[in-house]
Amino acid sequence: MQRPDGPSDARLHVAIIMDGNGRWARARGLPRTAGHKFGVDALKRTVEGASEAGVSTLTVFGFSTENWRRPGSEVSELMKLMKIYVENDLERLARDGVRVKILGRREGLSPDILQVIERAETRTADNAAFTLQVAFNYGGQADIADAARALARAAKAGEIDPEAIDEDMMAGALSTRGEAPDLIIRTSGERRLSNFLLWEAAYAEFVFQDVLWPDYGPQHLKAAIDEFRQRERRFGAVEAGKRAAG
C-alpha cells in the first residue's frame, strides 16, 4: 500500500465522500433528484480546481453497493446522471489530460452503463496529468471480499502460494490496487466512512466539512488541504521530536 512520507509540496491523492445532496434539496423544497443534479455541477467545479490545489488523484464516492436500497426512481436518476456526466464532459476531460477510472463491481450494471464506463476508461487510458477515480457500485467491504475471493481462486488453482499472501498482494487485488489516499474529505457535517475505502484509509487523514455537497467548490477543497498540510503524519511511529528525545 502506498504510504507517503507526510505533508509536503508533493501532489496529493484526495478522496471525497460527496454527502448532502438530499438535505440540500429538501431545504429548498425540491426533490432529492434535484440535489443530485446540482451535485454533478459541484463535482465539475471541484475536478476543475483540484489540480491547482495540488491534487494529482481525486477519488469520489459516486454510488455505493448499498445505494441500490434507495427508491427505484432515485437509483434511475443517479444512473442517468452518470451517463450525462460522461457524455457531456468526457471529451473535455480527455483534452485536459484527465484519466478516468471507475472503481467497484461491474456485475449488476446495465449494458448502457457498462458501455459508458468502458468508453470513459478507454478514451482517457493514456492520460497522465490527473486521475479521476469514481467509485460506482462500490463498497469497501464488498471490494475486500472480492479481492479475497480472487486470491482464494488463484490459490486453489495453484497460481499462488497461500502463505505468500500479504498486505501488498491483498492491496493489489482491490479495485483501487491499494492506492491509498492522503486525505479523505466528507461533506455535510457527517463523520463516518460509510463503507468507503476501508482498506485504503488505514493511514489517511480525515477532514469533515460542514457544507452540503451541491454547494461545494475549489475553495472548500483548498481549505481542507490547508488543514491537512498542518498535520504531522506518523504512520504508527512516534512524533519526530519525541523520537529524537528518546
E strand or H helix that includes residue 245: helix 240-245
Burial environment of residue 23 by CB neighbours within 10 A (0 to 12, 13 to 18, 19 or more)? middle
DSSP tag of 55: E
Instruction: In whole angstroms, give the CA distance from residue 77 to residue 157.
Output: 42
Contact by Cβ (8 Å): 213, 242: no
Instruction: In whole angstroms, give the CA distance from residue 98 to residue 134.
Output: 13
Q: Is 215 a catalytic residue?
A: no
Q: 9, 19, 146, 210: which is the annotated catalytic residue?
A: 19
The region that residue 158 occupies, defined by phi over 0 for left and psi between -120 and 50 for alpha, beta otherwise, is left
Q: Is 67 a catalytic residue?
A: yes
SS3 at position 227: helix
Instruction: In whole angstroms, give the CA distance from residue 144 to residue 147.
Output: 5
Instruction: In whole angstroms, give the CA distance from residue 206 to residue 203.
Output: 10
Contact by Cβ (8 Å): 61, 132: no
Instruction: In whole angstroms, give the CA distance from residue 82 to residue 104.
Output: 14
Q: 21, 41, 67, 137: which is the annotated catalytic residue?
A: 67
Q: Tell me the helices (H) and strands (E) count for the chain, helix number first.
A: 8, 6
For the annotated catalytic residues, the residue numbers are: 19, 67
